A and B are shown apart, each in its own frame.
Chain A
């Protein structure tokens, strides 16, 4: 059991709860989502509480987060896209903080369950479709008909564009989920090598086990990078898709 690399992703019920036949138990996943929201909201609220004109250390950190996402959104969706700032900022911060939570030993990584990432991706694409249709009406479907394409090719191109659009929410969710899952499994497997080497080889095992432990250290650093990059990639793609909803003239 100690070496089972999948065990860390198991969902356990902390407070069993059932409402009208629907299982609404408070699970370890829910616990870490709550912790993520509490930490990110609490940090932002407390650090900006002073409202200093000259920011202190903590206030600088939250202002840097704000500026980072605001620039990301403004660069790819223009100033019109800033009305989606609360959504993009919350998404970025939630993914980043929950991924970083996952880097603590014995903590649960929320993003290793595809249902969570898929819910985010569906929310993003749903926002794009609903807002795009609201703002542009049927002009939104121009998204699928690129300009400057010869008439004979248009039917083929439209199919390709539609498939490309359908693949967006899937690749958005699969990318985040697969990277977090694979990273955590790899970490566990390499750490498990060290344990089994020591158990089977005795004294010599301690010397040989240094190798997988070195790998585990290196992978941990890589995982921190991936935790940030995945949040960044998710946020920047959200911005680009929102840009399509705002300017569908593609």
Chain B
């Protein structure tokens, strides 16, 4: 917090420096540019740090979701195929087909959780498309 409140004043100083460069020697100008660079660098580092911290918890909750979504869909596919085989008597075929379909469902689940597939809702104008978009941004 303290760092952040100092930043604007430091920057203002740098701005006013650049305004009256006309009557400055090359050396002074160089040193001022250096200090400005340093200030900008520290400020950028702060921003990147806070961004990364936010990303950490969001990324963690996404990771928790993605891993199970993928594995479970494959298991469900295999399970449904196995059940069909058992009741219809088409052993191994339904299980093979549904295992592959389950794999597809797992990929779909993961893409949806990651917001890479816009849940087809973007095709539809209206409030639902709006809310979808916002969620993907988050």
Binding site for B on A (CB under 8 A): 75-78, 146-148, 156, 159-161, 163-164, 166-167, 170-171, 174-175, 178-179, 225, 229-230, 232-233, 237, 240, 243, 247, 249-250
Known contacts: A78-B127, A175-B68, A229-B60. The answer to whether A163 contacts B135 by CB under 8 A is: no
Q: Which residue of chain A lies nearest to B101 when distances are taken between CB atoms in the complex?
A: A159
The smallest beta-carbon distance between B125 and chain A, in angstroms, is 11
**Dominant SS among interface residues on chain B:** helix
Q: Digitize B79-118: 1 where CB-to-A-CB distance is under 8 Å, 0 elsewhere.
A: 0100000000000000000100110111011001000000
B36 within 8 A of A: no
Asked if A156 and B101 make an inter-chain contact with CB atoms under 8 angstroms apart, the answer reads yes
Asked if A75 and B131 make an inter-chain contact with CB atoms under 8 angstroms apart, the answer reads yes
* CA of A237 to CA of B65, assembled, Å: 9
B76 within 8 A of A: yes
The smallest beta-carbon distance between B98 and chain A, in angstroms, is 7
Q: Which residue of chain B lies nearest to A149 when distances are taken between CB atoms in the complex?
A: B120
- In residues 45-97 of chain B, which contact A (Cβ within 8 Å)? 57, 60-61, 64-65, 68-69, 72-73, 75-77, 80
Known contacts A175-B65, A229-B64, A233-B65; can you find 20 more A-B pairs with CB under 8 A?
Answer: A77-B131, A147-B123, A148-B123, A156-B101, A160-B108, A163-B73, A163-B102, A163-B105, A167-B72, A167-B75, A167-B102, A170-B72, A175-B64, A179-B64, A232-B61, A243-B128, A247-B128, A249-B121, A249-B124, A250-B120
Asked if B120 and A147 make an inter-chain contact with CB atoms under 8 angstroms apart, the answer reads yes
* CA of A233 to CA of B64, assembled, Å: 8
Asked if B131 and A243 make an inter-chain contact with CB atoms under 8 angstroms apart, the answer reads yes
B119 within 8 A of A: yes
Q: Which residues of chain B are near A163, meaning CB under 8 Å?
A: 73, 76-77, 80, 98, 101-102, 104-105
The smallest beta-carbon distance between B72 and chain A, in angstroms, is 4
Asked if B69 and A167 make an inter-chain contact with CB atoms under 8 angstroms apart, the answer reads yes
* CA of A250 to CA of B112, assembled, Å: 12
Asked if B80 and A166 make an inter-chain contact with CB atoms under 8 angstroms apart, the answer reads yes
B134 within 8 A of A: yes
The smallest beta-carbon distance between A170 and chain B, in angstroms, is 5
Asked if B105 and A76 make an inter-chain contact with CB atoms under 8 angstroms apart, the answer reads no
* CA of A178 to CA of B80, assembled, Å: 22
Known contacts: A146-B120, A160-B105. The answer to whether A76 contacts B80 by CB under 8 A is: no
Q: Which residues of chain B are near A146, meaning CB under 8 Å?
A: 120
The smallest beta-carbon distance between A70 and chain B, in angstroms, is 15
Pick the most buried of A167, A170, A237, A243: most chain B CB atoms within 10 A of its CB: A167
* CA of A53 to CA of B23, assembled, Å: 59
Asked if A160 and B104 make an inter-chain contact with CB atoms under 8 angstroms apart, the answer reads yes
Q: Which residues of chain B are near A178, meaning CB under 8 Å?
A: 68
Q: Which residue of chain A lies nearest to B62 when distances are taken between CB atoms in the complex?
A: A233
Q: Which residues of chain B are near A247, meaning CB under 8 Å?
A: 121, 128
* CA of A77 to CA of B134, assembled, Å: 11
Q: Which residues of chain A are near B127, meaning CB under 8 Å?
A: 78
Q: Which residues of chain A are near B128, meaning CB under 8 Å?
A: 78, 243, 247, 249
Asked if B109 and A167 make an inter-chain contact with CB atoms under 8 angstroms apart, the answer reads yes
The smallest beta-carbon distance between A235 and chain B, in angstroms, is 11
Task: Give 25 CB contacts A-B under 8 Å.
Answer: A75-B131, A76-B131, A78-B128, A156-B104, A159-B101, A160-B105, A161-B105, A163-B80, A163-B104, A163-B105, A164-B105, A167-B72, A167-B73, A167-B102, A167-B109, A174-B68, A174-B72, A175-B65, A229-B60, A232-B61, A233-B61, A233-B64, A233-B65, A249-B121, A250-B119
